[in-house]
């Protein structure tokens, strides 16, 4: 049996990338997993077998979960974690201070787990490098697991509030992506790392040239860093929609001419995968984890390179023939992209090995 950690996910008002992964994994695992919440003064109170697995895709710290450190040391079950990234240590100046303070101990504790499943080869190498720098003795075996690209969602009920009784997928097909004007879509939490103001600056250059297109931003606001970004978007020609449902997000992907991801750092880059699943081509930062998922339907541009980004976007916006060809390339990717069912199968295979 897999005991899936939903401590933060169950109570989260907004679905971050981490809670999004937990939700999708929960739905895909179905009856193969039970939910577990680390509650104050309760800790691990589960009648589990030593052969069971405790699986977490969340970021944790012992001071946030009283007794969790002792649980890891005693290991009444086998321990596995999905590891996303080391961004709080790589970009501390633009990361929520609480995350920066938590991350070193979190990475250290992962070394005591039995299995760690990284969301990209890049994240795996960063984690191994951190442990080597620390000089830590490492128990964990570290592998890479695919992230689903499809929009698998749990049925009504939700995590730890009636349980997910089975998954269903959003089968909406692939739209041609044409609207009255070309649409550039940017998906991600509003924070400096996602680099929305950079994309807005490039767009303003193209608008000044006379190019006619729409620019839409989707994502919740980082309460520590995001308000100035939201203010800049709302004062511009762009449209900011805030956080949206999966159903709405699929609609936006299908309507978009291109999805733009100018991010400064990623562990995996779910929006790129999800855009391709909907048949939407992407222009994205030239980052190692995005390179892993690149290929047909993706154009990678230098991170922060205004000229290169302007050229790339201009080509899609001003040349309908190129935009159609680019979209056709993206549409071919759907058959080869991993689904959340593939993620669940890979998880079960790793944990049974």
pLDDT digit string, tens, across residues 46-99: 889 999 999 999 999 888 898 999 999 999 999 999 999 999 999 999 988 888
pLDDT grade for 16, boundaries at 50, 70 and 90? confident
What's the rounded mean pLDDT across residues 222-226? 92
Q: What is the pLDDT of residue 350?
A: 95
Neighbours of 34 (CB within 10 A): 16
Which of the two residues, 155 and 298, has the higher pLDDT score?
Answer: 298
% of the chain residues with pLDDT over 70 = 91
What's the rounded mean pLDDT across residues 225-244? 96
* Terminal-to-terminal C-alpha distance of the chain: 14
Identify the sign of the CA torsion 225, 231, 236, 237: positive
Alpha carbon of 217 to those of 110, 162, 187, 242, 253: distances in Å? 34, 33, 6, 7, 11
SS3 307: helix
Residue pLDDT, tens place only, 171-206: 444 444 445 789 999 999 999 999 999 999 999 999
Q: Can you give 243-262 as a three-state secondary structure string?
A: CCCHHHHHHHHHHCCEEEEC
The whole-chain average pLDDT of the chain stands at 90
Q: Is residue 231 predicted with pLDDT exceeding 80? A: yes
Q: Is residue 310 predicted with pLDDT exceeding 50? A: yes
CA distance 81 to 339: 19
Q: What is the pLDDT of residue 294?
A: 87
Q: What is the pLDDT of residue 64?
A: 85
Q: What is the pLDDT of residue 314?
A: 97
Helices within 173-269 (DSSP H only): 196-209, 227-234, 246-255
The answer to whether the pTM exceeds 0.85 is yes
What's the rounded mean pLDDT across residues 242-268? 95
Least confident of 87-96, 99-108, 161-170: 161-170
Neighbours of 14 (CB within 10 A): 12
pLDDT grade for 291, boundaries at 50, 70 and 90? very high
Which of the two residues, 149 and 10, has the higher pLDDT score?
Answer: 149
Alpha carbon of 52 to those of 76, 106, 115, 179, 348: distances in Å? 9, 22, 13, 51, 12
Contact 62, 69 (CB under 8 A): yes
Q: What is the pLDDT of residue 167?
A: 47
DSSP per position, 79-139: EEEEE---HHHHSGGGS-HHHHHHHHHHHHHHTTSSEEEESSHHHHHHHHHHHHHHT----
Pairing of strands 33-36, 2-5: parallel
Which tokens sit at 183? Answer: 């649409």
Contact 80, 55 (CB under 8 A): yes
Contact 122, 294 (CB under 8 A): no
Within 13 A of 29's CA, how many CA atoms are on the CB side?
23
SS3 237: coil
Q: How many residues does the chain have?
A: 353
pLDDT grade for 298, boundaries at 50, 70 and 90? very high
What's the rounded mean pLDDT across residues 157-170? 43
Burial of 291 (0-12, 13-18, 19+ CB in 10 A): middle
Identify the sign of the CA torsion 326, 220, 22, 35: negative
């Amino acid at each position: 049996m897999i005991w899936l950690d939903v401590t933060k996910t169950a109570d989260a008002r907004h679905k971050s990338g981490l809670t999004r992964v937990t939700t999708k994994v929960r739905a895909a695992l179905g009856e193969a997993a039970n939910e577990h919440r680390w509650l104050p003064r309760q800790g691990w109170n589960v009648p589990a077998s030593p052969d069971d697995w405790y699986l977490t895709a969340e970021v944790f710290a012992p001071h946030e979960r009283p007794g969790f450190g002792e649980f890891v040391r005693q290991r009444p079950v086998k321990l596995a974690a999905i590891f996303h990234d080391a961004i709080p240590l790589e970009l501390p100046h633009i990361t929520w201070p609480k995350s920066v303070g938590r991350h070193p101990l979190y990475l250290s504790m992962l070394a005591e787990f039995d299995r760690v499943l990284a969301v990209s080869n890049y994240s795996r190498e960063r984690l191994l490098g951190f442990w080597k720098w620390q000089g830590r003795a490492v128990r964990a075996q570290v592998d890479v697991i695919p992230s689903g690209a499809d929009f698998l969602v749990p049925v009504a009920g939700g995590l730890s509030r009636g349980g997910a009784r089975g998954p269903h997928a959003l089968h909406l097909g692939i739209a041609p992506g044409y609207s009255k004007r070309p649409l550039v879509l940017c998906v991600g939490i509003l924070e400096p790392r996602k680099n929305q103001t950079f994309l807005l600056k490039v767009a303003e250059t193209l608008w000044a040239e006379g190019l006619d297109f729409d620019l839409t931003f989707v994502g919740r606001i980082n309460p520590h860093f995001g308000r100035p970004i939201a203010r800049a978007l709302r004062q511009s020609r762009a449209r900011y929609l805030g956080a949206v449902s999966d159903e709405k997000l699929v609609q936006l992907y299908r309507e978009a001419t291109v999805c733009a991801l100018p991010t400064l750092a990623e562990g995996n880059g779910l929006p790129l995968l999800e855009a391709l699943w909907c048949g939407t081509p992407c222009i994205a930062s030239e980052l190692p984890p995005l390179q892993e998922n690149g290929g047909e339907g993706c154009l990678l541009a230098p991170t922060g390179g205004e000229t290169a980004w302007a050229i790339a976007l201009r080509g899609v916006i001003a040349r309908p023939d190129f935009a159609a060809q680019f979209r056709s390339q993206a549409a071919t990717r759907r058959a080869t992209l991993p689904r959340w069912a593939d993620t669940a199968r890979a998880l079960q295979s790793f944990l049974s090995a």
